[in-house]
């Protein structure tokens, strides 16, 4: 509902019709949701107060997260560089074999699979590279 004179949640609750609770289970679920909402609002209020009273903790936490993001970015760059090197080696071996030469990879060497590695620079920085873990 859109009312011009309603500015707070409490005012909206006062003018809104009561929820349609058809069963005892609906009422229990509604009560639980209301309780969770109140807890979440109180938690937000307490955290805002904590941040106001302890700015050094906020600065420390922000510094820790910045350091972690930097380390993750460095790790992802190193992993991409490693994939590029492995793919380049596998491609070179494939080209050598295609030209009639002899590869130092054995026939069943897992390094042959590196030729299929993705080395795109378009990889999302939030990607941890573990796209298929839930399928294994």
Residue-level pLDDT, tens digit, the chain, 136 residues:
566 788 888 888 888 887 777 888 888 998 999 999 999 999 999 999 999 999 999 999 999 999 999 999 999 999 999 999 999 999 998 898 888 888 888 888 888 888 888 877 655 555 555 555 455 4
| Any domain includes 113 | yes
Q: Count the Cβ atoms, other than its own, within 10 Å of residue 93.
A: 20
Q: Are 114 and 89 in contact, with CB atoms under 8 Å apart?
A: yes
Residues in the chain: 136
pTM (two decimals): 0.52
How many angstroms separate the CA atoms of 28 and 33, rounded?
9
| Any domain includes 95 | yes
Counted domains in the chain: 1
Residue range of the domain that includes 114: 74-123
| Any domain includes 24 | no
| Any domain includes 32 | no
| Any domain includes 18 | no
How many angstroms separate the CA atoms of 71 and 79, rounded?
12
pLDDT at 136: 46
| Any domain includes 86 | yes
Measured CA angle at 91 (ends 90, 93), to 5 deg: 65
């Amino acid at each position: 509902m859109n009312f011009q004179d309603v500015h707070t949640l409490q005012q909206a609750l006062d003018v809104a019709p009561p929820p349609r609770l058809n069963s005892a289970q609906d009422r229990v679920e509604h009560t639980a949701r209301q309780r969770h909402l109140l807890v979440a609002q109180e938690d937000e209020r307490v955290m805002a107060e904590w941040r106001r009273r302890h700015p050094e903790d906020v600065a420390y936490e922000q510094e820790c997260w910045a350091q972690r993001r930097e380390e993750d970015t460095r790790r992802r760059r190193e992993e991409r560089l490693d994939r590029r090197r492995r793919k380049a080696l596998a491609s070179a071996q494939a080209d050598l074999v295609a030209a009639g030469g002899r590869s130092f990879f054995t026939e069943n060497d897992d390094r042959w699979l590196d030729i299929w590695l993705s080395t795109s620079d378009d990889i999302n920085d939030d990607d941890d590279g573990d796209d298929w873990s839930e399928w294994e």
